[in-house]
């Protein structure tokens, strides 16, 4: 009798557990499938395809595999200059965005001002307008017959309009403007989660506001700057529209070059190699950045 009961409880305990596991697995697969399929078809497969093309001597109809495309992408002064410019653009934009965003994020996270909601709206409102529209806005301001030049010439400060567009810095201005919301929101999220008690404790321990910020708030908010920087860096490195429109062809970046190489010059293998260099370079920069942060913000 006792044995029979023990036997029964065994069965009762085992069966439902197995069924739940199967149900969970099915649900998990069903939930993940769309995302996996989308990423597979839209990202992984094209990327692998591009990687394959970058090793082909010609496309389509390759006759041999070769490293020649990479030799060109990595040693040709033309490509090198553009690669360098692209990464310095991303670096400069990330830096400026971080510095400009921090005070705004601070205000959003800490202030009780009644203007807070208005500032928040002002910060995210650029996200509601297309990048093209915003970039055209900058051409109206910076153009040869634009607002700034009209003002300077009208006031007699300069006689000839300044060439404000078609320069590295005009692209920087445009990119910073477009990407600042991402940085502000990333930093504000982290700042808002920091217990104000830390800064109070530091103040009572004798930290002046400047040292309090440098020793307590800044290190505690590094994660926000980090995630904002990753977003801004990646979006700048791959930017196409803004460099084209504000650089007017004078500020070549990798995204534009890849497009030219593939679509205008119909040299797919070299374009694919440059694209791989762009992706690889970005990954390396992010990796170094991650290591740097880990060393400087032990938790």
Binding of residue 214 to another protein (CB under 8 A): no
104, 173, 220, 255: which one binds another protein (CB under 8 A):
220
Q: Which of 59, 106, 120, 198 binds another protein (CB under 8 A)?
A: 198
Give the separation between CA 166 and CA 105, rounded to whole angstroms: 31
User: Which one of the spans 42-50, 114-122, 148-156, 214-222 is the region binding another protein (CB under 8 A)?
Assistant: 214-222
Length of the chain as a residue count: 299
210 contributes a contact to another protein by CB under 8 A: no
Is residue 205 part of the contact set for another protein (CB under 8 A)? yes
Please report whether residue 227 would count as binding another protein according to CB under 8 A.
no
What pairs with residue 56 in β-bridges? 65
# binding residues, another protein (CB under 8 A): 21
Could you tell me if 227 and 191 are in contact, meaning their C-beta atoms sit under 8 angstroms apart?
no
Q: Is residue 7 near another protein by the rule CB under 8 A? A: no
List Cα–Cα distances, 240 to 168, 207, 244, in angstroms.
14, 46, 6
56 — phi, psi (to 5°)?
Answer: -95, 150
> Binding to another protein by residue 215, rule CB under 8 A?
yes
- Shortest spacing between CB 101 and another protein, in angstroms: 21
**Nearest-approach distance from CB 212 to another protein, in angstroms:** 8
Query: Is 200 among the residues that bind another protein (CB under 8 A)?
Result: yes
Determine contact, residues 86/261, Cβ cutoff 8 Å.
no
Q: Applying CB under 8 A, which of residues 13, 145, 160, 195 lies at the interface with another protein? A: 195
167 binds another protein, rule: CB under 8 A: no
For another protein, which stretch binds (CB under 8 A), given 67-75, 102-110, 167-175, 206-214? 206-214
Round to whole Å and give the CA distance between 183 and 65.
42
Q: Is position 190 an interface residue for another protein (rule: CB under 8 A)?
A: no
In whole angstroms, give the CA distance from residue 281 to residue 87.
Answer: 9
Partner residues linked to 65 by β-bridges: 56
Burial bucket for residue 49 (CB in 10 Å: 0-12, 13-18, 19+): exposed
By CB under 8 A, tell whether 176 contacts another protein: no
- DSSP notation for 216-233: IIHHHTHHHHHHHHHHHH
Nearest of 239, 138, 221, 136 to residue 179 by alpha carbon: 239
Question: Residue from 204, 264, 266, 295 that binds another protein (CB under 8 A)?
Answer: 204
Q: Which CB, 46 or 209, lies closer to another protein?
A: 209
| Type and span of the H or E element at 60 | none
Q: Which residues bind another protein (CB under 8 A)?
A: 195, 197-198, 200-208, 211-212, 215-216, 219-220, 297-299
């Amino acid at each position: 009798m006792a044995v029979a009961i023990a036997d029964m409880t065994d069965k009762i305990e085992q069966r439902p557990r197995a069924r739940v596991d199967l149900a969970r697995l099915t649900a998990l697969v069903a939930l993940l499938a769309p995302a996996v399929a989308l990423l597979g078809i839209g990202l992984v497969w094209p990327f692998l395809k591009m990687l394959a093309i970058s090793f082909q001597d010609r496309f389509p109809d390759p006759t041999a595999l070769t490293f020649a495309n990479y030799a060109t992408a990595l040693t040709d002064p033309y490509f090198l200059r553009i690669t360098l410019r692209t990464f310095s653009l991303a670096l400069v934009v990330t830096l400026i965005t971080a510095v400009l965003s921090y005070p705004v994020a601070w205000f959003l996270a800490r202030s009780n001002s009644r203007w807070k909601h208005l500032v928040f709206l002002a910060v995210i409102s650029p996200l509601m307008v297309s990048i093209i529209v915003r970039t055209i806005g900058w051409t109206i301001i910076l153009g040869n017959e634009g607002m700034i030049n009209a003002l300077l010439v009208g006031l007699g400060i300069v006689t000839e309009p300044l060439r404000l567009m078609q320069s590295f810095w005009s692209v920087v201005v445009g990119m910073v403007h477009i990407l600042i919301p991402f940085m502000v929101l990333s930093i504000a999220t982290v700042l808002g989660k920091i217990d104000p008690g830390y800064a109070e404790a530091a103040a009572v321990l004798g930290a002046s506001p400047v040292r309090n910020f440098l020793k307590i708030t800044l290190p505690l908010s590094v994660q926000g700057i980090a995630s904002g920087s990753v977003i801004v860096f990646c979006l700048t490195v791959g930017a196409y529209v803004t460099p084209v429109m504000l650089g007017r062809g004078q500020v070549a970046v990798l995204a534009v070059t890849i497009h030219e190489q593939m679509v205008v010059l119909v040299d797919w293998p070299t374009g694919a190699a440059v694209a791989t260099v762009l992706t690889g370079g970005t990954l390396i920069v992010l990796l170094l950045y991650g290591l740097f942060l880990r060393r400087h913000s032990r938790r």
